[in-house]
Amino acid sequence: MIAATPNSCFRHWKMVLPSFSRSVAAWLQSRQVRTGKSWDWRSWEAMGMFWRVLRLASPIPPEQVTVSDSLFKVVSWALERRNFLISAQEHGELIQQLRVGRRILEESLPKPELATDHWHIAARLQPANHLGGDLFAYSVMPGYVRFLLADAVGHGLGSTLLAAECRSLWSALAHQPSLQSEAENLSQMLHETTGDTRFVAAHLGRCYNDGRVEYLACGQGPVFLLSQSGGMSTLERTDPPLGIFQDQSFTPPLLQMQSGDRLVVLTDGLLECEVEGKQFGVEGVCASLSGEPTREPVQLLADLFQAVNMFRNGASLRDDGCALVIQSTTGSCWGD
């Protein structure tokens, strides 16, 4: 008996290749007609089918079966390896695109600190993934400063696009006569473009040059008010998220701040940071904000995020975290 060798197998396959190719092509075409779907010839199922067709087209002598099987397994492994390499390349390209998207998002944000004659504002964003749904924005208008802290529902690319759209619409509403009309128009436009399954939780407001602050907490947690003397209070009033209903009405409360007072707003990614079933929560925020009453907004944010990172103790973030500190530098009195 002549021993089977790879060369003899190749010679045998070369002889049956034409009928093999015709059989495979006919089988693939008939399957696509029956199912209406194309077929991935690189799958293990396809490999088994090819092998069955090949053996039916021209049976291989028994002494060559072992070598043929081994050779076929090598070919199958090489094709699967190629599939894995293609998938890895596509995955790497996707990660790179997400990194580029994150860089574009970060570059589109305003500078993390804004100072005018009447207000000192600082903001900070810590995304959980390559792309997040949290962002901040502010703009200087005649007589006041506008601010926005947005947290779009969900995670990833969809939330990033929704938050970016919210910021664009907010920017387009800069000349609305009041914060109330600004919020109501913003909510209506979001609902019209995204429906009632997509919405944005947000803090937005206006800081006037005389020390007054109008604000809205739409679907967000409490606002923290720190006085220049060291006192702290939490403002619990909230409204529904933006865009969740067709016609929403808002009545923003009015604060009167004096020089040195600070208003701290943040997204729920910080409040709801959870480790082993325990949340950072309002207590954690208050503990990080208490202390030296003369800390600048940038330092307050640094202390807040440091406390959150220490609390999670290396655990991965489940949600984006974003916060904004607004300090009055206008000499005014309470109860004005």
Averaged pLDDT, 44-63: 52
Question: Quick one: pLDDT at residue 46?
Answer: 54
**pLDDT (0 to 100) of residue 335:** 35
Exposed e or buried b for every residue in 55-81, given b needs 16+ CB within 10 A? eebeebeeebeebbeeebeeebeebee
Burial of 29 (0-12, 13-18, 19+ CB in 10 A): exposed
Please name the helix (run of DSSP H) or strand (run of DSSP E) that holds residue 152, with its range, or none.
strand 144-152
| pLDDT tens sequence across 147-185 | 999 998 877 777 888 888 899 999 999 999 999 999 999
Query: What pLDDT was estimated at residue 288?
Result: 92
Task: Report the distance separating Cα 285 and Cα 271, nearest Å.
Answer: 7
Task: Tell me phi and psi for residue 274, to 5 degrees.
Answer: -125, 135
Q: What is the pLDDT of residues 118-153, one digit of tens each?
A: 999 999 988 776 567 888 999 999 999 999 999 988
Distances, alpha carbon 286 to alpha carbons 48, 205, 215, 324, in Å: 64, 22, 20, 15
Confidence of residue 2 (pLDDT cuts 50, 70, 90): very low
CA Rg value for the chain: 31
Distance CA 267, CA 222 (A): 10
Question: Domain ranges in the chain?
Answer: 6-100, 111-328
Tell which CATH classification among 3.90.1150.10, 3.30.1050.10, 3.60.40.10, 3.30.470.20 matches the domain 111-328.
3.60.40.10
* 79 vs 54: which has the higher pLDDT: 79
Pairwise pLDDT comparison (315 vs 118), residue with the higher score: 118
* pLDDT at residue 213, as a whole number: 96
Residue 159 structure tokens: 């939330």
What is the band of 193 on the pLDDT scale with cuts at 50, 70, 90?
confident
Band (292; pLDDT cuts 50, 70, 90): confident
Residue of higher predicted confidence among 80 and 121: 121
Quick one: average pLDDT of 241-262?
Answer: 92
Q: Calculate the alpha carbon distances from 32 to 25, 37, 272 in Å.
A: 11, 5, 50
Alpha-carbon distance of 149 to 282, in angstroms, equals: 18
